Amino acid sequence: MARFLARRLIFAILTILFATFLVFALSRLQGDPLLLYAKPGGYGFTPEQQAALKKKLGLDKPFVVQYIVWLGLISRGDFGKTILDEKPVLKVVTEKIPASAQLGVFAWVLATVVGVPIGVFAAVKRGSKWDYVARVFAVFGQALPSFWLGLILIFFVAVDRGWLPAGTRGERGWLDWKYVVLPAITLGWGAAASYMRLTRSSMLEVLDSEFVKLARAKGVGTRNVVWKHAFRNALIQPLTASAVILTAFLGGSIIVEQVFAWPGMGRQLITAINNSDFPVLMAFVLLYASLYVVANFLVDLSYGAIDPRIRYD
């Protein structure tokens, strides 16, 4: 177990370093970063000012040294300031985390609660009309674009019927749950379809295995066979996908946040890209890479609890 944890920790650090180094290198391919601080037309940006700013930002040092200096700064919680309005990058990012976390958690729970039971039901009713209905749901769930589904929900549910708000997050955050319903459905629709297909295929494989046939031959009830024996052994694939899905949701959905004017990290990321605000981009890359690494690490640890045959030695 200790060797496994050590390997995973080393792999996690290398993954984060590679992701940040790649984006850091790509940011330098855009040209001289000093041009981002110049006014339109370049007026009022004298060579003396350029030299002073280059020294202040550390751009007079070699590229590798710049990256090492940046790592040292973020290790102390200093992510720098935004280019346009010179706000602390850490504050800009943390202000958007609660909104994206709310939307991500609601969408993930909705996708899991809907997709996994439908997948189990479709596998148990294999070849029946309910199985075909579930498969049609999966096809439409993965085929419908999220922006189109969001617009349809806004028109019929919010505008035409007035049942739910059409956008924004509300003033009370997590307490204004009505604002998150439509974005969560839009974001979780495709994930629910993915859960359904993964769960169904895993359940079909397990239900055809010898130990399930033996359990049926011994007279074990259908409910125990499905949920106690089959479902637990079929949970590995959906669990692996859940880590990726939850991390992607927590990181913010660019399209859904744009459609519903949701003030999350996805919209902030688009703003940073449009403004070439590389300090903000680097902070988001570090956050996303860390989320994926932590989520995959926790899923790897959970494999042993689900399937006792898995060992970490």
Answer yes or no: do 107 and 176 share one domain: yes
pLDDT for res 78: 84
How far is CA 184 from each of CA 52, 105, 124, 270, rounded to the nearest angstrom? 48, 9, 28, 20
Confidence of residue 296 (pLDDT cuts 50, 70, 90): confident
Query: Which tokens in the block code for residue 21?
Result: 């180094």
Answer yes or no: do 50 and 105 share one domain: no
Q: Stretch 179-200: mean pLDDT, rounded? A: 92
> What is the number of structural domains in the chain?
2
Which residues lie below 8 Å from residue 177, measured CB to CB, with a gap of 6+?
none
At residue 104, does pLDDT exceed 80? yes
Question: Rounded mean pLDDT of the chain?
Answer: 83
Please report how the helices 278-306 and 89-124 are oriented relative to each other, as an axis angle in degrees rounded to 10.
40
Task: Tell me which of 28, 47, 78 is where a domain ends.
Answer: 78
Q: Is residue 85 part of a domain?
A: no
pLDDT tens by residue, 44-61: 566 777 677 777 767 777
Q: Is residue 257 part of a domain?
A: yes
Answer yes or no: do 50 and 140 share one domain: no
Report the alpha-carbon distance of residue 264 to residue 143 in Å, rounded.
25
Residue 15 lies in domain: 2-78
Q: Stretch 74-99: mean pLDDT, rounded? A: 85
Concatenate the DSSP letters of all residues of 26-40 into one string: HHHTTS-GGGGGSPG
Answer yes or no: do 107 and 225 share one domain: yes
Answer yes or no: do 46 and 179 share one domain: no
Give the amino acid at 55: K
At residue 29, does pLDDT exceed 90? no
Answer yes or no: do 72 and 115 share one domain: no
pLDDT for res 200: 92
Give the amino acid at 209: S
User: The pTM is what?
Assistant: 0.82
Q: Is residue 48 part of a domain?
A: yes
Report the alpha-carbon distance of residue 103 to residue 98 in Å, rounded.
9
Q: Is residue 272 part of a domain?
A: yes
Q: Is residue 123 part of a domain?
A: yes
Q: Quick one: what percent of the chain has pLDDT higher than 90?
A: 21
Q: Is residue 313 part of a domain?
A: no
Answer yes or no: do 147 and 209 share one domain: yes
Report the alpha-carbon distance of residue 24 to residue 20 in Å, rounded.
6
Q: Stretch 211-228: mean pLDDT, rounded? A: 82
pLDDT for res 72: 86
Query: Which tokens in the block code for residue 289?
Result: 């890479």
Answer yes or no: do 27 and 135 share one domain: no
Concatenate the DSSP letters of all residues of the chain into one string: -HHHHHHHHHHHHHHHHHHHHHHHHHHHTTS-GGGGGSPGGGTT--HHHHHHHHHHHTTTS-HHHHHHHHHHHHHTT---B-TTT--BHHHHHHHHHHHHHHHHHHHHHHHHHHHHHHHHHHHHTTTSHHHHHHHHHHHHHHHS-HHHHHHHHIIIIIIIS-SS--SS--SSGGG-THHHHHHHHHHHHHHHHHHHHHHHHHHHHHHTSHHHHHHHHTT--HHHIIIIIIHHHT-HHHHHHHHHHHHHHHT--HHHHHHTT--SHHHHHHHHHHTT-HHHHHHHHHHHHHHHHHHHHHHHHHHHHH-TT----
pLDDT for res 119: 92
Confidence of residue 199 (pLDDT cuts 50, 70, 90): very high
Answer yes or no: do 94 and 73 share one domain: no
Task: Tell me which of 54, 78, 102 is where a domain ends.
Answer: 78
Question: How many alpha carbons fall within 13 Å on the CB side of residue 83?
Answer: 21
Answer yes or no: do 97 and 19 share one domain: no
Q: Is residue 139 part of a domain?
A: yes
Task: Tell me which of 40, 58, 78 is where a domain ends.
Answer: 78
Q: Stretch 33-43: mean pLDDT, rounded? A: 59
Answer yes or no: do 38 and 181 share one domain: no
Per-range mean pLDDT, top range of 46-50, 103-107, 226-230, 281-285: 103-107
pLDDT for res 31: 58
Answer yes or no: do 243 and 171 share one domain: yes
Which residues lie below 8 Å from residue 2, measured CB to CB, with a gap of 6+?
none
At residue 286, does pLDDT exceed 90? no
pLDDT tens by residue, 114-172: 999 999 999 999 889 999 999 998 888 888 888 899 999 999 999 988 899 888 887 87
Q: Is residue 200 part of a domain?
A: yes
